[in-house]
Amino acid sequence: MELYSGMMNKLIEAFASLPGIGQKTAQRLAFYIVNQPKEQVRMFADAMIEARENICYCKECFTLTDREICPICANTRRDHSTIMVVETTRDQAAYEKTGKYEGVYHVLGGAISPMQGIGPGDIRLKELIQRLQGDVQEVIIATNSTLEGETTAMYIGKLIKPSGIKCTRIASGVPVGGDLEYIDEVTLLRALDGRTEL
């Protein structure tokens, strides 16, 4: 027995198809949309359509943008000799929120994962190597501390090493507020290796 009309069920199913949205959240979102003024819903729908039609990848760093070159790459005050390599645009946004990094980025669009059939040719490594032909002095590898992220970091390190460009990896280890007894051995070893002098 259907609880709602066909259109309401269709709206709930549309929300439920989004990543991380379960059935209850989908229902809550659907009811919210139905109870909003029509003009507000139309603006929301238009924003989604415009985003889908106009957002593309930056021709330099491959982050999402509505311009040919994203604002970070177009900014002449940024240090274009330092490139931070990240897996996704969300990772880039996390670093930008710190307000401390002044270089530019390179978004791979994923990580090497043989189990999922993702090899070096499936992420933007060729484009990264092309960027290194310019005046690049350091590449900071900021892939995630997962098996896939570590594999990708090692692969990039091996690609860059012959060029003589400085290649560094972000530090990782014990999170602030974390109890040592609950942290895995690999993380503890990474924290020990990356220790700094006080």
Percent of the chain with pLDDT over 70: 90
- Written in H, E and C, the secondary structure of the chain is CCCCCHHHHHHHHHHHCCCCCCHHHHHHHHHHHHCCCHHHHHHHHHHHHHHHHHCEECCCCCCEECCCCCHHHHCCCCEEEEEEEECCHHHHHHHHHHCCCCEEEEECCCCCEHHHCECHHHCCHHHHHHHCCCCCCEEEECCCCCHHHHHHHHHHHHHHHHHCCEEEECCCCCCCCCCHHHCCHHHHHHHHHCCCCC
Q: What CATH number was assigned to the domain covering residues 77-192? A: 3.40.1360.10
> Which of the four pLDDT bands, split at 50, 70 and 90, describes residue 29?
very high
> Which of the four pLDDT bands, split at 50, 70 and 90, describes residue 98?
confident
pLDDT, residue 1, reads: 46
**What's the mean pLDDT in 2-8?**
77
Query: Under CATH, to which class is 10-54 assigned?
Result: mainly alpha
Question: What is the domain partition of the chain in residue ranges?
Answer: 10-54, 77-192
**What's the mean pLDDT in 127-140?**
94
pLDDT of 198 strictly over 60: no
Residue type, 88: T
Check: pTM over 0.85? Answer yes or no: no
**What's the mean pLDDT in 122-145?**
93
Quote the mean pLDDT of the chain. 89
pLDDT of 5 strictly over 80: no
